[in-house]
Amino acid sequence: MGIVDKNNVLGRIDSLKDLSLELGCGNRKRHPDTICIDSLDYDCVDIVGNLYEVLKKIPDNKVSAVYSYHCFEHLEDVGALMEELARLMKSNGRLIVVTPHFSNPYYYSDVTHKTQFGLYSFSYLSEDSLFTRKVPTYHKVPMFDLSGVQLVFKSPRPFYGRWGIKKIFQFIFNLNRYLMEFYEENLCYMIPCYEIKYEMIKKPSNP
């Protein structure tokens, strides 16, 4: 399938001054001022097509913010996507990614899920000064600083009665980095986490 640019975004991209993207938005656009990219043609989608191919059409240092909610887990090559985002994002641009946590029992029900995520997933792909446990970047120079990670506990519909209890766990385990790391190492399969939110900042480009 080719690229369908429903609102001629790519054709006028040089004239857009403050460009923000929402990747894999599905049928819900969470940020009204973003350009939404998805492989499925929902009403709120601006550009329909393969995510990697669409991003290649965007010039260097053009995007000030990128948001993604429950999209990255559907991708096989997250490293390649991060390299593409590093290319097209402006220095100090903001990247927000929300995915299911690997302990989410519903993660494995979706046969389209390809990649799991935990506390340290983006520590492999960015500069991490948050966590005590350090992981390798496999000789690649990180182009992002990991500025925040949050564990999110909740229950999906219709299990509303469990919601309040889960939010107590969320408050406790997010009190500090030690408790986050202790949770994931020792408690995650007893108290499953629903999703995880990462915040990253694009490092200044080399002159």
Domains of the chain with bracketed CATH: 60-202 (3.40.50.150)
What confidence tens digit (pLDDT) does each residue in 48-106 have? Answer: 999 999 999 999 999 999 999 999 999 999 999 999 999 999 999 999 999 999 999 89
Mean pLDDT, residues 5-31: 90
Contact criterion met (CB below 8 Å) for 151 and 196: yes
Mean pLDDT, residues 12-20: 87
Q: What is the pLDDT of residue 1?
A: 63
Q: What is the pLDDT of residue 38?
A: 94
Q: What is the pLDDT of residue 206?
A: 58
Q: What is the pLDDT of residue 140?
A: 86
What confidence tens digit (pLDDT) does each residue in 127-173 have? Answer: 999 999 999 998 788 999 999 999 999 987 777 778 889 999 999 99
